[in-house]
Amino acid sequence: MNATPLSSGLHHLELWTRDLAVSEPAWHWLMTTLGWRAERVEGWELGRIWRHGDGCYIVLEQSEGVLGDRAERRAPGMNHLALRARDRELLDRVRREGPGHGWRELFAEHYPHAGGEDHTAWYAEDPHGIEVELVTGP
C-alpha cells in the first residue's frame, strides 16, 4: 500500500541578483528553452517568475539586500540549482547555445559526465555566478 507523501516537492525557489537587467536575459532564455512559462507581475519591475507545468516556480529578483557582486557556490548556502532537461538532444542544444545567452560552461572538458559516468548533465553559471546543472535521464 502506498502512503500519501508528506509533501509534493518544490513549491518555489527565489534567487537574488545584483542586476536584473544583466541576469534576466540568461535566465529567461534557459527557463523558456526548458519549457517553463514566463509570468510577469504587474508593478513588480525588479522580479521575474518562471513556472513549471507542475505548478512550482522560480523567482529571480533584484534586491538591495544582496551582498557582494557574485554568487559564491562554495560558501554556506545553495551550491547550485539542478533542473531536468527532456533528453540529450536538448542538453546538447543548451550547451551549444548557452554562451550566446550569457551562460558560462563549467567542467567543459568532462561534458557530459562531469558528475560521473552514469550521470549525464551540463553545468554552467549565469552572469552573476549562480550555477545550474541540467540533468537528463534518471
What pLDDT is attached to residue 75?
Answer: 82
The domain 12-64+73-136 belongs to what CATH superfamily?
2,3-Dihydroxybiphenyl 1,2-Dioxygenase, domain 1 (3.10.180.10)
Burial class, 126, CB count within 10 angstroms (exposed 0-12 / middle 13-18 / buried 19+): buried
Long-range contacts of 32-39 (CB under 8 A, 24+ apart): 33/90, 33/93, 33/94, 33/97, 34/83, 34/84, 34/85, 34/86, 34/90, 34/94, 34/134, 35/86
List the chain pLDDT tens, one digit each, 138 residues: 567 777 768 899 999 999 999 999 999 999 999 999 999 899 999 999 999 999 999 999 998 888 888 888 888 888 999 999 999 999 999 999 999 999 999 999 999 999 999 999 999 999 999 999 999 987
pTM: 0.90
